[in-house]
Amino acid sequence: MTKLSAFTIYKLLPKTNCKKCGEATCMAFATKLLNQERKVDECPLLEEPKYKKGGEQLKEIFSKIGKVHPSGVTLDPDLCTGCGNCVTACPVNVRLCAECAEGGPLSDKEILYKVVDGKLKIINLDECRRVKPPKTSCDVCEVYCLSKAIKIVGV
């Protein structure tokens, strides 16, 4: 998946600024889609044949992302190779799970990430620095995920 931003979403919308969705512009609708405040099928023009392809692409993107945690951290399981980089790079994960720092066996403590059966499993993002005070704009897991399976969206 390419980096998901309001502009990426906007490019798949009709770009007519018709206001039928109740937003002033397609870009405003795109921003609300990104923040999951609106749904793709709330743009009626996406049912029209010439815009249908963009609508289908948007639905696919959002079905893969699922419900985005307030941290904005998303995982595309299809891209995850289970390398474990994020598990050992996330500073909170390492603090909560000493074994993670050495890439060793992972305990079942309340950690953020662990690899299960060759894929990353998100356990508890409520501990993520992006949501837990004092909040930071940490993006370490995204940076260390070389396969681009982790994306931080919406913020």
Where along the sequence are the contacts to ligand SF4 (CB under 6 A)?
A: 13-14, 16-21, 23, 26, 29, 43-45, 71, 73, 75, 80-86, 90, 92, 112, 115, 120, 128-130, 138-141, 144-145, 147, 149-150
Q: How far is the CB of 112 from ligand SF4 (least distance, A)?
A: 5
**Cβ atoms < 10 Å from Cβ of 86:** 25
Nearer to ligand SF4, 107 or 119 (CB): 119
Examine residue 105 and say whether the peptide bond preceding it is cis (omega within 30 degrees of 0): no
Q: How far is the CB of 72 from ligand SF4 (least distance, A)?
A: 8
CA nearest neighbour of 87 among 116, 130, 63, 48: 116
Opening angle at CA 132, ends 80 and 99, nearest 5:
50
Nearer to ligand SF4, 20 or 60 (CB): 20
Pair 33, 54: CB distance under 8 Å? no
Q: How far is the CB of 35 from ligand SF4 (least distance, A)?
A: 14
In whole angstroms, give the CA distance from residue 122 to residue 76: 11
Nearer to ligand SF4, 107 or 125 (CB): 125
Nearer to ligand SF4, 19 or 52 (CB): 19
Nearer to ligand SF4, 107 or 136 (CB): 136
Cα dihedral angle (92, 94, 96, 99), rounded to 10 degrees?
Answer: 170
